């Protein structure tokens, strides 16, 4: 006797159902990301935004985000540093740095930091600052010097330009 195959062949889900499932999962993931992002980095309180606008009304844009680096928002642009390297001494480096102070900037501290960075750059060799890792070590060294010189009043060192010739 022949055995009859009474089981129906398994059908694969249709493309429309698959697309709908992927769309729903994408919306759920996007909504979850938005929710977690709002919990991790909530927008600043309205009072803080208003206070920032009062301190420097022309230096802040929408939501109190700084548009330009000014002393009013705690950022001081140092004069460019141009000096030769320790080895090879034929190579020159030009470095422009901005400092972000925690509170009101102190021009005397900024000038001391400027002189300290210039003196440090004269002791650096080209081999020490080659490549991305060397640049990261340079950034870390300068940040450490700035932290020591400013007693923690400078919160961020921003490299604007860095050219080796």
Q: What is the spatial distance between Cα 165 and Cα 87, in angstroms, rounded to a whole number?
A: 13
Can you tell me the distance from the alpha carbon of 11 to that of 15, in angstroms, rounded to the nearest whole number? 12
| Residue 99 host element (H or E) | strand 92-101
pLDDT for 94 equals 94
Query: From first to last of its 165 residues, what are the pLDDT tens digits of the chain?
Result: 555 556 556 677 789 999 999 999 999 999 999 988 888 877 777 777 676 666 555 444 444 444 445 666 789 999 999 999 998 889 999 999 999 998 888 889 999 999 999 999 999 999 999 989 999 999 999 999 999 999 889 999 999 999 998
Give residue 61's pLDDT: 47
The pLDDT of residue 67 is: 44
Handedness of CA 29, 34, 35, 39 (dihedral sign): positive
- Residue 59 tokens read as 């230096």
pTM of the model: 0.57
Q: Does domain 75-164 have CATH number 3.40.50.300?
A: no
Query: Of 89, 153, 97, nearest to 122 (Cα)?
Result: 89
The pLDDT of residue 65 is 45
């Amino acid at each position: 006797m022949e055995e009859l195959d009474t089981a129906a062949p398994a059908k694969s889900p249709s493309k429309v159902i698959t697309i709908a499932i992927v769309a729903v999962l994408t919306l759920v993931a996007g909504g979850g990301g938005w929710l977690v992002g709002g919990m991790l980095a909530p927008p600043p309180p309205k009072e803080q935004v208003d206070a920032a606008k009062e301190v420097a009304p022309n230096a802040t844009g929408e939501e109190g985000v700084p548009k330009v680096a000014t002393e009013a928002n705690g950022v001081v642009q140092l004069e460019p540093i141009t000096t030769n390297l320790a080895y090879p001494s034929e190579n020159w480096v030009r470095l422009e740095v901005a400092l972000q102070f925690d509170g009101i900037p102190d021009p005397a501290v900024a000038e001391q930091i400027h002189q300290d960075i210039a003196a440090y750059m004269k002791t650096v060799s080209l081999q020490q600052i080659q490549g991305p890792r060397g640049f990261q070590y340079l950034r870390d060294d300068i940040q450490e010097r700035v932290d020591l010189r400013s007693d923690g009043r400078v919160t961020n060192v921003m490299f604007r330009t860095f050219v080796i010739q």
